[in-house]
Amino acid sequence: MSNSARLSLWQAAWVIARRDFTAIVFSKVFLLFLVGPLFFLAISAGGGLVGATAAESIDEPQIGVALPAAQNAAVAEAAAQLRPLIDLPEVKQIDPSAGANPAALLDDKDYNLSVVLTGSLADPLLSGPERAIERRQGEVAMIVGAARGTPVPQARLTTNTTETSVISERAAQDGTARGGIVLLFMLTMLLAGMVLSNLVEEKGNKIIEILAAAIPMDAVFVGKLFAMLGVSILGLAVWGGVAGVILFLGASALPPIPAPAVGWPLFFTLFVIYFAMAYLLIGSIFLTVGSMAPTVRDVQTISLPATILQLLIFFLANFAVGQPGSAVEIGAAIFPLSSPYMMLARAAKEGVLWWHLVAIAWQILWVAIFVKVGANLFRRTVLKSGGAGRDTATKRKGLLALLNGASLRS
């Protein structure tokens, strides 16, 4: 075979990618891929709800008290006396001379206030989100009554409902972060399974042997990996279009959804980028591990460690979300396989943008390493399954004509 008859690595990878992309998009598998997110979104919503509840307990909400100094002390003493009898959150005394604006205090990130008590013991005003007021009103009334020293240890409170507070915003963003992690994990697991199934099918019907007669195995690895990425990007575009239409037609009927720290447009953009990084990393592992199976029957068994690794990464990311600033959270953001998950969570909870520029560059470096190492191992091991390497002149010439014709048309 002359060198001129053989396609270059990237030409061959493009032909393989286009072939797999077309075959998958026009198959029933792609329809299942489009319907699958309904299941994923349900899981994400459940995960977000659990995460928001967990965030409220982890953040330990405080009751802010911004009364005159002497009354602040009386409220704190009354809360200390009642705490052994009932479960009360921490009472945070705030100097009223600093400006006791309830809305500003609730939005102040230096505190972690769920409600704020202002005014005076004679005329107390409790401010906060509606849900927080309903939860804390009885407790605050008992504290105020005890601080007054009245026979009936409960006071009548005037309430002032605000739209949000720092703690409710943090809980909502924590839910968005956890929901994003769940969706990212489900999509990468689905795609890694699809690319592995495609490899199993072609090893079983000996198509891999035919491809090896004409093109480098590195090109097969790269082409299959990026074909599935193209399928997923098309699927995300379809879902994004449907979501846009739903929001446009029914935005007024939908409940308000707190925005992530970086805003929705940038969050969606980062989701696509981090999804691509996560898939390319784990997809390289699955393709490499699948190529090492001596028989098709052994593929699932040999790929089990890769599946377990993916689950461990998911659990690590979910745990690290609840440990902001800890060594676990920083380590999860640096470790290549968990970095896409953690940085997506940070996009939901923190508005710092330069983190993402550094993280994306870091992940691209590791994608290049994983693809290079994976392609080399794929080339050496994929043809070691039973009966591999037996090619005929007819197979060789027929496939070369097909690939060269496809290359010329492109």
Per residue in 41-52, pLDDT (tens digit) is 565 555 555 555
Q: Which of 207-211, 277-281, 387-391 has the lowest mean pLDDT?
A: 387-391
User: With 90 as the cut, is the pLDDT of residue 129 above it?
Assistant: no
Q: Assess whether 220 and 310 both reside in one domain.
A: yes
Q: Assess whether 8 and 95 both reside in one domain.
A: no
pLDDT at 274: 95
What's the pLDDT band for 157 if we cut at 50, 70, 90?
low
Q: Assess whether 295 and 385 both reside in one domain.
A: yes
Mean pLDDT of 277-306: 83
Length of the chain, in residues: 410
What residues does 161 pair with on adjacent strands? 128
Give all strands (DSSP E) within 143-203, no chain letters.
158-162
- Which residue in 100, 79, 92 sits closest to 145, CA to CA? 79
Q: Assess whether 271 and 127 both reside in one domain.
A: no
Output phi, psi for 384, to 5 deg.
-90, 0
Q: CA-CA distance, 316 to 329, in Å (whole number)?
A: 9
Residue 53, Cβ neighbours under 10 Å: how many? 13
What's the pLDDT band for 2 if we cut at 50, 70, 90?
very low
pLDDT at 393: 43
Q: Assess whether 341 and 292 both reside in one domain.
A: yes
Q: Assess whether 386 and 375 both reside in one domain.
A: yes
Q: Assess whether 83 and 28 both reside in one domain.
A: no
Q: Which of 15-24, 150-159, 383-392, 401-410 has the lowest mean pLDDT?
A: 383-392
What's the pLDDT band for 354 if we cut at 50, 70, 90?
very high
Strands across the sheet with 90-93, in order? 90-93, 62-65, 113-119, 124-129, 158-162
Domain end: 167, 184, 219, which one?
167
Task: Name the percent of the chain in helix, strand, coil, to the closest 5.
Answer: 70, 5, 20
Q: Assess whether 159 and 86 both reside in one domain.
A: yes
Total domain count, the chain: 2
Q: Assess whether 327 and 357 both reside in one domain.
A: yes
Over the stretch 62-109, which tens digit does the pLDDT of each residue have?
788 888 888 888 888 888 888 777 777 888 888 766 556 777 777 777
Vertex 260 angle, CA 259 and 265, to 5°: 80
Mean pLDDT of 105-117: 77
What percent of the chain clears pLDDT 70, i.e. is strictly above it? 75
Q: Assess whether 235 and 370 both reside in one domain.
A: yes
What's the pLDDT band for 3 if we cut at 50, 70, 90?
very low
Q: Assess whether 70 and 198 both reside in one domain.
A: no
User: With 80 as the cut, is the pLDDT of residue 378 above it?
Assistant: yes
User: With 60 as the cut, is the pLDDT of residue 152 above it?
Assistant: no
Domain end: 118, 143, 167, which one?
167
- pTM, two decimals, is 0.69
> What range does the domain containing 264 cover?
3-55+169-409
What's the pLDDT band for 405 if we cut at 50, 70, 90?
low
Q: Assess whether 132 and 265 both reside in one domain.
A: no
User: In the predicted model, what is the mean pLDDT of the chain?
Assistant: 77
The tokens describing 323, both together, are 């440990």
Domain end: 167, 191, 215, which one?
167
